[in-house]
Structures are given as structure tokens and as C-alpha cells.
Amino acid sequence: MNRLVELGTTKLFLTITIILLSATPIFSYIFWILDGCDPIFPYISDLDLQPNAGLIFTMGYSICGVLLAINGFQISAIRGLWMERNNLENKWVIINRFSMFPAILSGICLSWIAFTPWDEDLRLHLIQANLIFTGSIAWAIISVIITFKISQENVEFSKLIKKRVSFTTISILGLLGMIERVYKYLQISPDYLDIDSRSGFISGSCVALDEILLTQSAIFEWIYVIGTILLISTFFGEIKLLSPSENIE
């Protein structure tokens, strides 16, 4: 367990997580286009319905989810050790320990949703997606709060604040934009979240988003994903600053 929270191990896991989180939707989308689907950006989960793109989607996100859960534990553990060495108040230790759970929840649901195409179980798929969104945003916000606190003890840490706030804002705006566009569409077509209604958008193994509001919503989802990946990349700087010069034992 100690090796899991060493600086080198944590950096390796973060690197793989970011690579897979970036590569999975990109390569799934490439195969989506190569197989003749419309080049317009679909919802990311729509890629799972196309056989070749779906295989990449399932393999990539199932691994990503496990790694994301591990990342949440690793970062919380490294922060906790730093807090103990610097005698931070117990409430911050508790907040830090709690911060791993939204990440773990998002990771579990990300792996789970990789095996739950929405055309097979729409209700479960939507629950999983909402837990991923909620967990990742909660993790981001708590990380920002902890960043401000640690920056009071370590001035170098203040350099991370601007990036972390910016990337968290991108994620939140992307998520809110996606939700707002869907909500507006539901006023036109209230049965859209019904499996039969949504299946009407499927043509072969492709999903057509002919409605402009849904297209915009899907684009906002991609923005949310980009913001989340950028946020996770900020943890490289954090663990480097918080880890002692030697490996954590």
C-alpha cells in the first residue's frame, strides 16, 4: 500500500489516466466517423453504440474508472501525509479524507457505465452519468478549497490556484451548458428521456443529433470532459510540491 502513494507511482498512474481519458473519446470518435456516422460531435456515450467505437469506449473507460478511483486515494493520501507533517487542523485532515470519495464514486461509475449502453438500460445509464458528473465536480471544488488552504502554508502552492479554478470553471460551465440545452429541448419534446423516444435517433449503429439544442448539449459535454482532464493534470504539480524529497515510506 505504501508503494501505491509513492511519488513515482502516483505520477505514473496520473499519466496513464490522462492519456486514456484523452485517447478514449478521440479514438472512439475517429472510428465513429470512419464507420460512416455523421462527423458532428455526438454525446460521448453515443459512441458506445457503434461496434468499433464502442469497443474502444468500453475498454478505455473501464480502465479509466479504476485508475480515477486510485488517483483519488493516492492524492488524498499524499495530502494527508503532508498535513500531518505540517500539523494542519484536524478539520482539514477530515475534509481531505472526504475528498477521495467523490473521485472514487466517479471512477466506479465510469467503469460501470462503460458496460451500460444507454440503448440497453437508459435509466441506469443516466444514474451512472449523473453520479460521474456530480462526483467529478465535487472532487474539483473540494480540491480548489484545499488548494487555497495549503497555499497559506506553502506559497509555491498558490501558483496552482489560478489553473485549478480556471479548469474547474470550464468543467462546471460545460456541465451546466449541457444540462440547460437538454432542459430546453425537453420543453419541446418531454418524452426525450424515454428509451423509445431516444431510440428514434438511432440509425443503424449511428446516433443522429439533428436537433440543434442536442448538438449544442453534446458539445458542452465535450467541454466538460476537457475541463476535467485539464484539472486532473494539475495534480502533477500538487504531488510534486507535497511529497518529501525521498519516496514516501
Tell me the whole-structure pTM to 2 decimals: 0.92
| pLDDT of 1 | 64
Question: Which whole number is the average pLDDT over 146-160?
Answer: 86
Query: Phi and psi dihedrals of 193, rounded to 5?
Result: -80, 5
| pLDDT of 198 | 80
Of residues 196 and 128, which shows the higher confidence score?
A: 128
Q: In b/e form, how buried is each residue of 179-210, taking b as 16+ CB within 10 angstroms?
A: bebbeebeeeeeebeeeeebeebeeeebbbbe
| pLDDT of 245 | 55
Give the list of residues 6+ apart from residue 156 with CB closer than 8 angstroms, or none: 241
For 204-232, write each residue's pLDDT tens digit: 778 877 789 999 999 999 999 999 999 99
| pLDDT of 14 | 96
Share of the chain above pLDDT 90, in %: 68
Cα 219 to Cα 41: distance, rounded to the nearest angstrom: 6
Q: The C-alpha cell of 237 is what? A: 504539480
Question: Which whole number is the average pLDDT over 153-172?
Answer: 89
How many residues are given for the chain?
249
Q: The C-alpha cell of 27 is what? A: 479514438
Q: The C-alpha cell of 99 is what? A: 475528498
* Beta pairing partners, 206: 203
Amino acid at 54: G
Show the beta-strand stretches assigned E in the chain: 202-203, 206-207
| pLDDT of 5 | 81
Share the mean pLDDT of the chain: 91
Question: Which whole number is the average pLDDT over 166-178?
Answer: 97
For 175-189, write each residue's pLDDT tens digit: 999 999 999 999 988
DSSP code per residue over 126-176:
HHHHHHHHHHHHHHHHHHHHHHHHHHHH-GGGGHHHHHHHHHHHHHHHHHH
Of residues 73 and 190, which shows the higher confidence score?
A: 73
Of residues 52 and 156, which shows the higher confidence score?
A: 52
